[in-house]
Structure 1
Amino acid sequence: MRPIVCTGAMDAETLWLIDALENAEPVTLGCWKCVQGELDGYPVVIVRTNQGMANAAASTALAIERFAPCAVLNQGTSGGHAPDLHTGDIVIGAQVINMGAVRTPERARGAGMDPVCGEPLGLEIANTQPGDGEKKTVFAADADLVRAAAAVCWTESTVVQGTIGSGDVWNNELDRIAWLHENWGTMTEEMEAAASAQICAAYGVPFLTVRILSNTAVHGEPFDERTGEACQKFARAVMRNYRTLTD
């Protein structure tokens, strides 16, 4: 049976799941921490990607090559954008957008700059054929994975579906956060999911990201590392539901 690969950037986003594995076995995956085992009777691989888009892309590609998973579930902490969400709330990423991939308009020298004038830039999906590949500005989640996440019975906090912003950036400017939410629809932001989604699109592997708000500048709520464990518990339920849907 093909495993689900579940990724998180930090120990705070992966150790609870690793501890829950039965027959756990460390696996060499380049320079990234990786443990395979069984969770609720099914094969699962937990990968700590480390932070950032390059780490996420590389470790996701290696995990796909090594384990040929039936799906990739990215999960972990994030910073809130939506004004109606608070620390501990969860966003099911119906789609993810790379906040760092931007095309700016043409401006003459001396015409100035506008940091919020750019539009999302399409990113190429790799392929082995001659010529350029398909380009995407947003990466939609797999429908079965979304259904599995939506079916989780979660009473600890609010759960919503929406767009997750992703990139090598930590936004603290409230006007910038509001602009991203209003114009790109971002509910929260993090630093790995879009890169993993792009790699999964290239390989044709079903993908979903689920993110818990660990902090939100919108409400002045500081980072709470404990939210990482809660998101792992939610992710475990997602994987269990997905197996039920697809078996």
Structure 2
Amino acid sequence: MAAKRIGILGAMPEEINGIVSLLKGRSEVIKGMRTYYIGTINDIEVVVVFSRWGKVASATTVTHLIVEFGITELIFTGVAGAISKDLNIGDIVIANSLVQHDLDARPIMKQFEIPLLGKTILYPSEKLFNIVVSSTNELIKNDGLANLFSLSECHAFSLFNQKVVVGQIASGDQFISSSIEKEKLLKVIPNVLCVEMEGAAVAQVCYEYNIPFVIIRTISDSANENSIIDFKEFTAKIASKLGVIIVQKLVNNLKNDFYH
């Protein structure tokens, strides 16, 4: 049985910096314009890397993690824009399913269907998913997030009563930034909670290589013209801290589990 090695992807450089700082015995490997940080967290081998933006870039990165670094499971943390009106800034969304909202090969096949796979929706490993949901809920329940941010940060980014939500995430090479775009997306994917640019592509690669994966997103904006929060500032000050504490908790709970 191969040793456990967890791949950790971040959608922004700011999102992986804190996680990289957790690594013990850290080394670096540069391949394909990407820097892979290798080390251990809680005595588990991990490889951390910035996915780069978009479906092609993130799919390339996770393929490297699988083929060249031999990861046995994949955790992707990042930010996303809210599509559901029930989501607030700072809420944490864990994907129970993912769809590529810009994939459309009609009339050859139905909308969103992945060529050759015959699938429109991809799902995370049930066991890994359940541990992630449990780990993240523990943080919320035990006020693990309460002291992460100052009062001024909470007011600046409207961080109050953060919650963990499970549901569908849509991915595409398009930055959704208007109410019209949101409504169009909801008409064709009515159950979608949030939107980003990488998760479903990463899920496809993991599915094809039989690698358990989970996608965790922090809501950074409302994906419309009314968004007033500085995206990069939110990522650096809020999402990065959330990513670190979630990964710490998750790796601790994963220590004695294996998925193959």
Structure 2 CA distance for aligned equivalents of residues 205 and 33 of structure 1: 21
What's 2:111 paired with? 120
Distance in 1 between the 2:244 and 2:79 partners?
10
Once residues 231 and 182 of structure 1 are traced to their aligned partners in structure 2, the CA distance between those partners, rounded to angstroms, is 31
Q: CA deviation at 1:105?
A: 6.3
Partners of 2:178 and 2:165 in 1: how far apart? 24
> Quick one: structure 1 residues 77 and 232, their matched pair in 2 at CA, closer, same or farther if it must change by over 3 Å?
farther
- In 1, Cα distance between the equivalents of 2:256 and 2:193? 28
Does residue 1:188 correspond to 2:194, yes or no? Answer: yes
Are 2:166 and 1:154 equivalent residues in the alignment? no
Structure 2: distance between partners of 1:57 and 1:69: 14
Structure 1 unaligned blocks of 5 or more: 107-117, 125-132
Q: Is the CA contact (8 Å cut-off) linking 1:212 and 1:227 kept in structure 2?
A: no
Cα deviation for residue 46 of structure 1 reads 0.3
Residue among 208, 216, 228 paired with 1:210: 216
Q: Distance in 2 between matches of 1:119 and 1:186?
A: 18
Which AA in structure 2 matches 1:238?
L
Distance, in Å, in 2 between the alignment partners of 1:22 and 1:68 is 19
| 2: CA distance, partners of 1:30 / 1:71 | 21
Q: Give the deviation of 1:44 after TM superposition.
A: 0.8
Q: CA deviation at 1:100?
A: 1.0
Structure-2 residue corresponding to 1:43: 45
Per-residue CA deviation, residues 2-49 of structure 1 (Å, 9 max, x unaligned), is 210010122111100001111111023322121010011211110111
How far apart in 2 are the matches of 1:194 and 1:78?
Answer: 13
CA contact (8 A) 2:99 2:122 kept: yes
Q: Secondary structure at the match of 2:175?
A: coil
Partners of 2:117 and 2:76 in 1: how far apart?
23
Match of 2:238 in 1: 227
Inter-CA distance 82–72: structure 2 relative to 1 (3 Å threshold): same
For the 8 Å contact 1:122–1:135, the answer to whether it is kept is yes
Name the counterpart of 1:237.
Answer: 249
Per the alignment, residue 128 of structure 1 pairs with none
Residues 231, 242 of structure 1: CA spacing in aligned structure 2 closer, same or farther, 3 A cutoff? same
Distance in 1 of aligned mates of 2:110 and 2:166: 23
Mapped to 2, the partners of 1:18 and 1:49 lie a distance apart of 14
Q: CA RMSD in A?
A: 2.2
Instruction: Provide the secondary structure at the position in 1 that maps to 2:14.
Output: helix
| Structure 1 counterpart SS, 2:201 | helix
Letter of the aligned partner of 1:79 in structure 2?
A: G
Secondary structure of 2:174's aligned partner: coil
Q: 1:176 aligns with which of 175, 178, 181?
A: 181
Does structure 2 conserve the Cα–Cα contact (< 8 Å) formed by 1:213 and 1:227? no
Q: With structure 1 as the length reference, what TM-score do the two structures score? A: 0.84
CA distance in 2, matches of 1:135, 1:62: 24
Match for residue 157 of structure 2?
A: none
Give the 3 Å change call, closer, same or farther, for CA 212–134 of structure 1 in structure 2: same
Structure 1 residues 181 and 148: alpha-carbon distance in aligned structure 2, compared to 1, 3 A threshold: farther
> For this pair of structures, how many residues does the alignment match?
228
Partner residue in 1 for 2:117: 134
Residue identity in the other structure for 1:120: Q
SS class of match (1:171): coil
Percent identity of paired positions between Structure 1 and Structure 2: 23
1:246 matches 2:258 = yes
Structure 1 SS opposite 2:211: coil
